[in-house]
Amino acid sequence: MTARRPTGSAWWKTAIGVLLTAAMLFPVYWMVNVSFTRDQDMRKSPPNLFPTGGTLEGYRAVLDQQLPYLGTSLVIGLGTVVLTVLLAAPAGYALAKLRPRGGGVLSFLLLAAQMVPGIIMAMGFYAICLNLGMLQSVLGLIVADSTLAVPFAVLIFTAFMSGIPGELLQAAKTDGAGHLRTFWSIVLPMSRNAVVTVSLFAFLWAWSDFVFASTLDGGGTQQPITLGIYHYIGNNNQQWNAIMATAVVASLPAALVLVLAQRYVAAGVTAGAVKD
């Protein structure tokens, strides 16, 4: 039995897909190209498609000036991941398996919470953090960023945990395990894909947040990388290689996490979509 050769239309579809992908990724490539371009070549016409005679001055500036911002973003991102999982995993388990009263209303409210514009939530958090003395603090940003991730995370956990066979939970109950022990020893280990999915999205939202950061920590000493890039553009609008190098370095952690977690994300997002 011979393998079927691709038809002409299949090749055209592949070619179109490659062209569209190249068009979408070209800004990313240009960001990397400019990060290696020398200042005297920045306004060259036509511009160099490749960084001939490139320089590392932009990346030296990143290491000298932007590392504190990167460290703060890393702390905020990891803190948001931990808080989101701690809140959303038990909530998803309760909605999926314990069936509390008002669970449907709660699920609707979680969906509605995702429709609220971030700037509206930022104004509310500003008043709360001002009264609690949490302005210009990493903890305040972690709590604020978690409000974006928790509703989505609860829905993901609920969908995933709904697919766990009830027989496993019944067997644990027969052996004397309570709800907490069942959740910790059985449900959570089986929900690894959902945990990775939720952690990835929570980290990406916290890493790329600008609205909460500019509202709650605009003048503090511990600012995330989004504010670092914003201030750097305002103060050094002529050093585009350094600005683009900062953007490249800021993109690397998120890109690396996405590449490492992509196979778990596919399973976590589609969980619960098919019922037996």
pLDDT tens-digit map of 70-115: 899 999 999 999 999 999 999 999 988 888 888 888 888 888 888 8
How much is the average pLDDT of 248-264?
Answer: 82
pLDDT value at position 141?
92
CATH T-level topology, domain 60-270: MetI-like fold (1.10.3720)
Provide the Cα torsion 269, 271, 272, 273; round to 10°.
Answer: 60
Considering the chain, what is the average pLDDT of its residues? 84
The confidence score (pLDDT) of residue 8 equals 56
Q: What is the mean pLDDT of residues 157-180?
A: 86
What is the Cα–Cα distance from 180 to 195, expressed in whole angstroms? Answer: 17
The CB density around residue 257, as the number of other CB atoms within 10 Å, is 17
Predicted confidence band at 271 (pLDDT cuts at 50, 70, 90)? low
- The predicted pLDDT at position 1 comes to 47
Pair of tokens at residue 21: 């992908």
Q: Which of 48-57, 132-141, 186-195, 202-211 has the lowest mean pLDDT?
A: 48-57
Give residue 273's pLDDT: 46
pLDDT at residue number 19: 92
pLDDT, position 5: 55
pLDDT interval class at 274 (50, 70, 90): very low
At 276, the pLDDT band (50, 70, 90 cuts) reads very low
Residue 267: pLDDT over 60:
no
Does pLDDT of 202 surpass 90?
Answer: yes
Single out the residue of 143, 1, 125, 133 nearest to residue 84, CA to CA: 143
Residue 53's pLDDT is 77
Q: In the chain, where are the structural domains located? A: 60-270
Q: How many angstroms separate the first and last alpha carbons of the chain?
A: 34
* pTM for the model: 0.82
Are residues 226 and 249 in contact, defined by beta-carbon separation less than 8 angstroms?
no
Rounded to 10 deg, the angle between the 192-208 and 138-162 helix axes is 150
For residue range 11-45, what is the model confidence (pLDDT) as tens digits? 888 889 899 999 999 999 999 998 888 878 877 77
